[in-house]
Amino acid sequence: MPTHQLDYFASLVSEDEHLPLTEAAIAIAQHAYPDLVVQHVMDEIDALAEKLKQRVNKEMSGLQKLQILKQFFYKELGFGPNRNDYYDPDNSYIQSVLASRRGIPISLALLLMELGHHIELPIKGVSFPNHFMIRLSLPQGEVIIDPLTGTSLSKQELQEMLDPYLDAQGYRGEYQLPLAAFLRTASAREILSRYLRNLKAIYSQQERWERLLGIQQRLVILLPDAVEEIRDRGLALAQLDYIRPAVDDMRRYIDEVPDASDFEEIQAQLIELEQRLRQIEINRPPLGPLAIQDQRQLLHPLKPLHQSRVLRPSLRIARQHLVHIGVRHPLRAPNHPAREPLR
C-alpha cells in the first residue's frame, strides 16, 4: 500500500476545523485506484457546479435554489441509486459515482452538499440510522431529504424509518430517544467514518482482505482513539498473513481494553498467531539484506492462513467484528434482502 497516499489522507483529516470533506472522501478511493488524481475529480465537480451556478441568482430564496439543485442533480444529470448492483463498492467512490451517476445515500449526499455549497445553499449531512440523510434550514423550517431520490421526508415518515432501529437497540420505554436526537448535523469526521464503514462492511462480506486493509488503515488514521479499529486492522492483517503487525494490533487491543466482551476470543487468536510467529522465526533460514526489506517474505507463515487450523476462529471473529449488522427498513436495496444495507 503506497505510504504517500496514507500520508495524504492523514494530512486531510488531521484537524476538524478545516477538514476538507469532499477532498477526503475522494481520496479514500486511492486505496482501490492508486492512480486516481484527486484534483481531477474535484475539477469535474467544479465543472458541474459552474453549470448549476448559471441557473441561480442572488435574489432567489433558499427554497428556489433547492428546487433548482434537485432538478439539476436528479433530472438533468440523472443521479440516483444503483438498483442493479447496490453493493458494488464503486457506488461509494466519488469518481465512479460521477461517471455512472449511481450511488448510495452517503455518496450522493456528499455531492449534493458540495454542489449546494457552490450556490450558497448550506446543506448538512445527517447520520440517520441505516440511511444517511441531508438537511437544510429554510425560513419555512427544517427540511430533511433522502439523497437517493431528493424526496423531502415528513416527521411521520422519518419516525417509521427509525422505529425498527429503536426496537432492535432496545431504545423503548424509559430509554426511548426522540426523533430529533437522530437528526442532528453530522461532523465531517463522523461522515467520513460512516463512509469508510460502509466500505468495510462490503469488503469484509466479500472477504477481499487486501481492499479491507486499505479501508482499515484509513479508519485508524481517521479515528486514532478507536481501539476497536486497531483490532479490526489486526484481523485483516492476519487474513493476509502479515503476522507480526497483526500481533501488534491485537496485543494493543487487549492491553487497552482488558474488560472487552471479546477479550477471550481475541486473546485466543493472538496466542495462536504468536505461536506461529515463533515457529516462523525458528524455521526461517538466514535472510540477506534484500529479503529483509520484504516484509511479506519475512512474515509469511510456513503454512498459508487459509489452510491452517486458525482459519475458522479467524473468519468467525473477523465477520463478528468487521461486518456491522444493521437494521433493515423498506428503503434498503430490495434486490439484496439478506445483505447489510449501505447507508
Q: How many CB atoms lie within 10 A of CB 281?
A: 10
DSSP three-state, residue 86: coil
The dihedral formed by the CA atoms of 174, 179, 185 and 191, expressed in degrees to the nearest 10: 80
266 within 8 A of 260, measured Cβ to Cβ: yes
Task: Output the pLDDT for position 176.
Answer: 78
Task: Output the pLDDT for position 290.
Answer: 52
Task: Output the pLDDT for position 323.
Answer: 39
Per the DSSP assignment, residues forming a β-bridge with 133 are 126
Nearest Cα neighbor of 107 from 69, 76, 80, 128 is 80
Taking CA atoms, 273 is separated from 100, 258, 264, in Å, by 43, 19, 14
**For the chain, which ranges sit under pLDDT 70?**
1-2, 286-343
Residue 274 CA to residue 267 CA, distance in Å, equals: 10
